């Protein structure tokens, strides 16, 4: 067994241990019911240690999204309530992109075979679309709420997309959806209300309409681009033809 394989196994084992510890030690503590019961203490911690609380929230969100753990949507709502809209948007936006990129890299360098076996057909389709549309394809996927991020992140890790491209496209593509969820959380008066109603209870018709518009937007842009491209191709052909005809004969 090569040193590279041994190192990969060690990293996988460490990640598995961290996930198990996280579930057993902090799973109940991070539930909505538990957080609602400690609402006063959470506010006190925020006042006394604002930077520490922000840093811890960032790490927790990165861990949840980076390891594809359940609860990212609820966590976004909680952060919206806890930090307020603007602070939570910045925090969740960068934490979610960092976690997504971590998941992307784990798939590329540690879990390639497992992801390939599980999502082989989807990977083929994604590669074909990336060849046609480039980074815009990832951007459109980020805007469609029906496409789970826990599928997008690892599958993209097996493509030829550069890490930097994945990061900035994800940062832009997820921003609108992040803002919508954070706004919903910021509008909740207390965690007890959120715990009683759940994530579905506070999603309004306006928010659903916003998500529908987000899904329609990339499709509309794609159709416009497809309409422009043939027109541009014809224009380029005419200009090239005119340049050739305008040149004097040798």
Residue 119, in any domain of the structure = yes
Which DSSP helix (H) or strand (E) runs through 21? helix 3-26
The pLDDT confidence band at residue 145, using thresholds 50, 70 and 90, is low
Cα 13 to Cα 78, 160, 198, distances in angstroms: 31, 27, 34
Of the chain, the percentage scoring pLDDT greater than 90 comes to: 18
SS3 (DSSP) at 31: coil
What is the extent of the structural domain holding 57?
31-245
Residues 169-224: pLDDT tens digits? Answer: 999 988 888 888 888 888 877 777 777 766 555 666 556 666 666 666 666 666 66
Total domains, the chain: 1
Report the C-alpha gap between 166 and 93 in whole angstroms. 14
- pTM for this predicted structure: 0.75
Residue 190, in any domain of the structure = yes
In the predicted structure, residue 147 carries a pLDDT above the cut 90: no
In the predicted structure, residue 90 carries a pLDDT above the cut 90: yes
Residue 169, in any domain of the structure = yes
Residue 21, in any domain of the structure = no
Among 84, 91, 35, 42, CA closest to 62? 91
Report the C-alpha gap between 68 and 71 in whole angstroms. 9
Residue 39, in any domain of the structure = yes
Count of C-beta atoms within a 10 Å radius of residue 91 = 22
Residue 65, in any domain of the structure = yes
Residue 10, in any domain of the structure = no
Residue 19, in any domain of the structure = no
Residues 116-130: pLDDT tens digits? Answer: 787 777 778 888 888
């Amino acid at each position: 067994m090569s040193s590279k394989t041994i190192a990969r196994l060690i990293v996988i084992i460490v990640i598995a241990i961290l996930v198990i510890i996280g579930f057993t030690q902090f799973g109940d503590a991070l539930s909505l019911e538990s957080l609602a019961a400690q609402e006063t203490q959470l506010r006190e911690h925020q006042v006394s240690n604002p930077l520490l609380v922000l840093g811890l929230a960032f790490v927790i969100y990165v861990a949840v999204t980076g390891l594809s753990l359940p609860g990212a949507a609820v966590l976004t709502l909680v952060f919206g309530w806890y930090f307020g809209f603007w602070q939570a948007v910045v925090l969740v936006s960068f934490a979610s992109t960092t976690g997504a990129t971590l998941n992307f890299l784990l798939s590329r360098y540690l879990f390639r075979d497992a992801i390939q076996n599980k999502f082989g057909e989807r990977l083929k389709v994604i590669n074909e679309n990336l060849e046609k549309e480039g980074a815009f394809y990832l951007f459109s996927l980020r805007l469609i709420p029906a496409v789970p991020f826990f599928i997008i992140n690892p599958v993209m890790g097996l493509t030829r997309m550069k890490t930097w491209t994945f990061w900035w496209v994800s940062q832009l593509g997820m921003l609108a959806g992040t803002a919508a969820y954070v706004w919903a959380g910021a509008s909740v008066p207390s965690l007890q209300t959120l715990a009683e109603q759940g994530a579905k209870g506070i999603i309004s018709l306006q928010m659903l309409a916003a998500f529908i518009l987000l899904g329609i937007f990339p499709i509309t842009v794609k159709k416009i681009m497809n309409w422009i491209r043939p027109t541009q191709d014809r224009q380029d052909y005419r200009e090239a033809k005119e340049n050739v005809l305008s040149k004097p004969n040798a």
